[in-house]
Amino acid sequence: MDNIKIIIIEDEAIIAQDLALTLTKEGYIVSAIAMSYKKAIEALNNNPFDIALVDINLNAEKTGIELGRIIHNQYNKPFIYLTSYSDKETMRSVLPTHPSGYLIKPIKKNDLRNALEIAVYNYLKYHSNLVENRDTKNHFYIKNGKTFVKILKSDIHYVKAFDNYAFLYQKNNKILVTETLKSIESKLSEFNFKRVHRSYLVNINQIEGIEDKSIRIGDQLIPVSRQNQSWFFSSLNVL
């Protein structure tokens, strides 16, 4: 789960730090830790995040359930509740806020990992951050937080699939796109992008060299699958 940013909202310092350590080891980025309702609001407003872990009981007038409602309604981001309670009343109170998961303390590492992967997968499956301009097709807009960043298609070197989403690689940048490689291919096919492998889509104009059965773009060697080798290499302008 490369580059996934998480906000931890938990009023027990030991639990919060333990969660942060576990998430960092799993490859996630902890963008903020908040230990109260007020600090949680500040963290949500001031830190980029893809998913939040929210303790239901914050020992305050307002609970984590209120935060869950805010995350869903204002940020449209997935979140997972953390709680020591598994009674029916608690479950009934959290369901209307549309959580992506519900973990009972003490939280096991495998349960946390699985819950996060499912939450992120389901979110990315139904929410695309890639927007095309209707008037011109030579660029995308990629949603990053509350802003949209313009990306010229010609500046994309290659695209790499990762589960049901993909990474766009530019010269010095990598951008997560919440669409499948097949979907992105349909948007780039007329701009000299070719599918050379089930996991790679390359910009022909960015190819710098050919090495054995791979192509080189910058420092990256990209494999060409056996079924694509014949047509791909024959299509190149080789002297």
93 contacts 65 by C-beta, under 8 angstroms: yes
- What pLDDT, on a 0 to 100 scale, did the predictor assign at position 164? 74
Domain edge (last residue) among 126, 154, 177: 126
Q: Are residues 22 and 119 in the same domain?
A: yes
Cα–Cα distance measured from residue 162 to residue 60, given in angstroms and rounded to the nearest whole number: 40
Question: Is 126 or 61 the better-scoring residue by pLDDT?
Answer: 61
Is the per-residue pLDDT at 35 higher than 70? yes
**What's the CA dihedral at 201, 151, 5, 158 to 10 degrees?**
20
Cα–Cα distance measured from residue 10 to residue 32, given in angstroms and rounded to the nearest whole number: 11
Is the per-residue pLDDT at 129 higher than 70? no
Domain edge (last residue) among 62, 91, 126: 126
Is the per-residue pLDDT at 14 higher than 80? yes
Is the per-residue pLDDT at 170 higher than 70? yes
Q: Are residues 103 and 10 in the same domain?
A: yes
Share of the chain above pLDDT 70, in %: 90
Is the per-residue pLDDT at 1 higher than 50? no
CB-based burial, 145-154: b 16+ in 10 Å, e otherwise:
eeeeeebebe
Q: Are residues 142 and 207 in the same domain?
A: yes
Q: Are residues 34 and 118 in the same domain?
A: yes
Q: Per-residue pLDDT averaged across 10-18, rounded?
A: 95
**What's the CA dihedral at 71, 76, 78, 83 to 10 degrees?**
20
**What are the φ and ψ backbone dihedral angles of 59, each rounded to 5 degrees?**
55, 45
Cα distance from N-terminal residue to C-terminal residue, the chain: 42
56 contacts 84 by C-beta, under 8 angstroms: no
**Alpha helix positions (H), the chain:** 13-25, 37-46, 64-70, 88-94, 109-126, 181-188, 226-235
Q: Are residues 94 and 111 in the same domain?
A: yes
- What pLDDT, on a 0 to 100 scale, did the predictor assign at position 202? 95
DSSP, residue by residue, 34-95: E-SHHHHHHHHHHS--SEEEEES--SSSS-HHHHHHHIIIII---EEEEES---HHHHHHHG
| Residue 120: pLDDT band with limits 50, 70, 90 | confident
37 contacts 58 by C-beta, under 8 angstroms: yes
| Residue 134: pLDDT band with limits 50, 70, 90 | low
Range of the domain at 99: 5-126
Q: Are residues 209 and 114 in the same domain?
A: no
Q: Which residues contact 233 (CB under 8 A, 6 or more apart)?
A: 210, 224
Query: The domain spanning residue 204 has which CATH number?
Result: 2.40.50.1020
- What pLDDT, on a 0 to 100 scale, did the predictor assign at position 103? 95
Q: Are residues 147 and 60 in the same domain?
A: no
Cα–Cα distance measured from residue 190 to residue 204, given in angstroms and rounded to the nearest whole number: 11
Residue 69, Cβ neighbours under 10 Å: how many? 15
Domain edge (last residue) among 103, 126, 149: 126
Q: What is the average pLDDT score of the chain?
A: 87
pLDDT one-digit tens code per residue, 177-236 = 888 888 889 888 888 899 999 999 999 999 999 887 899 999 999 999 988 888 787 777
Q: Are residues 55 and 156 in the same domain?
A: no
Q: Are residues 158 and 216 in the same domain?
A: yes
Q: Are residues 107 and 153 in the same domain?
A: no
Q: Are residues 10 and 116 in the same domain?
A: yes
Residue 193: helix, strand or coil by DSSP? strand
Q: Are residues 166 and 62 in the same domain?
A: no
Could you give the number of structural domains in the chain?
Answer: 2
Question: Is 96 or 235 the better-scoring residue by pLDDT?
Answer: 96
Query: The domain spanning residue 44 has which CATH number?
Result: 3.40.50.2300
Q: Per-residue pLDDT averaged across 22-41, rounded?
A: 93
For the chain, give the number of residues: 239
